[in-house]
Amino acid sequence: MLPALTGLSPENLASWLKDAGEPAFRGDQILSWIWKKKVTTIDAMSNLPASLRGKLTESFRLGALEHATTQGSADTTRKFLFRLHDGRYVESVLIPANPALYGEKSDRRTLCVSSQVGCAYGCKFCASGLAGFTRNLDASEIAGQVLAAEQLSGERVDNLVFMGMGEPLANLDNLLAGISLITNEKSLHLGARHLTISTSGLVPQIRKLAEHPQQIRLAISLHGATDDVRNQIMPVNKKWPVAELFDALDYWNSKKNQKLTLEYILINGVNDALEQAAILARHARKLNAKVNLIPYNTVEGLEWKRPPNVHCRAFQEVLKNAGVSATLRLEKGHDIDAACGQLRLKQETEEGIISAPSKR
């Protein structure tokens, strides 16, 4: 399999061109064809000489993601399913307006990006973890989701959240290489402050990312304020319990300027007791973090349920009364299998790539 042209950094492309005896200015032309004009074949790069297109074709595949399906919902949230070169699938969700999420203006478009095929972390409420881990996405597949979503929608993506399939920090090197492509001024040129990485709580990688020079934002999939609740639904907590996680977040705060976000999916009878809200409020205040409350999105094959709206509001009130900025997310895409991993799970099960997941 040839390497993907979309995975080359501008520097690596420049060095390939030099080795191929081509002038340096061709690099900008090629990058413009890929990232600005969003071509889907090397042959479409019409201002390159045929000889250079031939050399490129001998050395690379373009690496553009193949669009499989789109699900759109009434509120125009769209979920794209992409087929990868090895026949696996990943999904990305384009959310047109998300005022409650990260304090961004409501006319901004956010793309939820996947970082792995499947996930090894097995959170009990999550579709992505249901069929286990298949593989990491590489840099071209990570950045390629943004490219493909912009191409399919005809719209510019303003914000990225790495909250799709997979645990982004378990694929940190490829993630950072993908982010480097996404933020490079010669490719997608999206500001690092518009990127949010979400993690279930991989402590060593949080500390490592805290050292990274770009001002990328961090969100923690907390979903439980104490070890006993977190241990029930997130196996990762047994390795890095709440106290260790919050130590790492203190460290993050000492290195970065932006507010952390604590994500909290409200699951009926599991983590929605008001005592959890009070403890969560103490954690959030100490970290000066925002809280996003997300009523659970039902996943086929799993028994978890969302609490009644009135209870979700009561949970939010406890946080607000404690002086914590807490949003109750008006969910987008509730009608389109928007919980991460569901669409891909359906497709791969139908094609017999994976067997139907069992209830656990």
At its nearest, how many Å lie between ligand SF4 and the CB of residue 207? 18
Closer residue to ligand SF4 in complex, CB, 200/316: 200
The residues, ordered by sequence, that sit 6+ positions from 298 with a Cβ below 8 Å of its Cβ are 304, 305, 306, 339
Of the candidates 59, 53, 49, the residue with the CA atom closest to the CA atom of residue 8: 59
Closer residue to ligand SF4 in complex, CB, 165/343: 165
Closer residue to ligand SF4 in complex, CB, 8/299: 299
- CA dist 22 → 44, 53, 113 (Å): 19, 11, 35
Closer residue to ligand SF4 in complex, CB, 35/121: 121
Say which of 91, 141, 167, 331 is annotated catalytic: 91
91 in active site: yes
The yes or no reply on residue 126 touching ligand SF4 (CB under 6 A) is: yes
CA angle 106, 112, 115 (to 5 degrees): 155
At its nearest, how many Å lie between ligand SF4 and the CB of residue 221? 6
Helix or strand run (H / E) with residue 117 = strand 116-118
Span of 22-30, 45-53, 163-171, 249-257 interacting with ligand SF4 by CB under 6 A:
163-171
The yes or no reply on residue 221 touching ligand SF4 (CB under 6 A) is: yes
Number of Cβ within 10 Å of residue 314's Cβ equals: 14
At its nearest, how many Å lie between ligand SF4 and the CB of residue 121? 4
Residue type at 109 in one-letter notation: R
Residue type at 269 in one-letter notation: G
The yes or no reply on residue 167 touching ligand SF4 (CB under 6 A) is: yes
Q: Are the CB atoms for 180 and 214 separated by under 8 Å? A: no
340 in active site: yes
Closer residue to ligand SF4 in complex, CB, 72/122: 122
Say which of 112, 123, 126, 340 is annotated catalytic: 340
The residues, ordered by sequence, that sit 6+ positions from 3 with a Cβ below 8 Å of its Cβ are 59, 60, 61, 63
Contact mark string toward ligand SF4, 181..220, x via CB under 6 A: -------------------x--------------------
Q: Are the CB atoms for 145 and 109 separated by under 8 Å? A: no
The yes or no reply on residue 89 touching ligand SF4 (CB under 6 A) is: no
The yes or no reply on residue 121 touching ligand SF4 (CB under 6 A) is: yes
The yes or no reply on residue 123 touching ligand SF4 (CB under 6 A) is: yes
Rounded distance, CA 117 to CA 6, Å? 19
Question: Which tokens sit at 346?
Answer: 């359906």
The yes or no reply on residue 271 touching ligand SF4 (CB under 6 A) is: no
181 φ, ψ (degrees, to nearest 5): -65, -40
Span of 101-109, 114-122, 266-274, 294-302 interacting with ligand SF4 by CB under 6 A:
114-122
Burial of 287 (0-12, 13-18, 19+ CB in 10 A): middle
The yes or no reply on residue 122 touching ligand SF4 (CB under 6 A) is: yes
Catalytic residues: 91, 340
Chain contacts with ligand SF4 (rule: CB under 6 A): 119, 121-123, 126, 128-129, 165-167, 200, 221, 340
